[in-house]
């Protein structure tokens, strides 16, 4: 259950980041008080903001079941790796070999951190 909570936190965090990026792409604009209708109609922004809140709740729930020095690196690294891979598929951003190597190194580091917690 503790790992499922972290996986849901990672998915929420990564999805929020992707939605915030989508919300800033034309024709959408950053929500501003000067244009409240535009701000209210930018649904990817509000959904992304809500998913960040949900990710925080999953993180808090994970902290009741896992040590901080495990939950935080797993959630953070998982979100970073997920976003890096999703941007290749969704936004057609390039995946450089250095990015792929960095993701693998981060995964290896987190695996070492969590090895005794299983």
**Residue 74: both structure tokens together:** 């797993």
Distance, in Å, from the CA atom of 22 to the CA atom of 75, rounded to the nearest integer, reads 22
Mark residue 79 as left, alpha or beta (left: phi above 0; alpha: psi -120 to 50; beta: remaining). Answer: alpha
Residues 62-76 as b/e (b if ≥16 CB within 10 A, e otherwise) read bbeebeeebbebbbb
Closest CA to 43 of 22, 26, 70: 22
Query: What is the tens place of the pLDDT at every residue in 74-104?
Result: 999 999 999 999 999 999 999 999 999 999 9
3-state secondary structure of 24: coil
Looking at residue 6, what is its pLDDT? 94
pTM: 0.87
pLDDT at 8 over 70: yes
């Amino acid at each position: 259950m503790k790992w499922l909570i972290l996986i849901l936190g990672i998915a929420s965090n990564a999805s929020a980041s992707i939605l915030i990026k989508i919300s800033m792409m034309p024709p959408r604009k950053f929500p501003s008080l000067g244009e409240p209708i535009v701000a209210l109609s930018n649904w990817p922004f509000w959904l992304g903001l809500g998913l960040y809140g949900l990710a925080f709740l999953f993180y808090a729930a994970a902290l009741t079941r896992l040590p901080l020095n495990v939950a935080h690196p797993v959630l953070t690294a998982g979100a970073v790796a997920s976003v890096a891979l999703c941007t290749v598929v969704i936004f057609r951003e390039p995946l450089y070999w250095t990015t792929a190597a960095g993701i693998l190194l981060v995964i290896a580091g987190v695996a070492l951190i969590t090895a005794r917690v299983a």
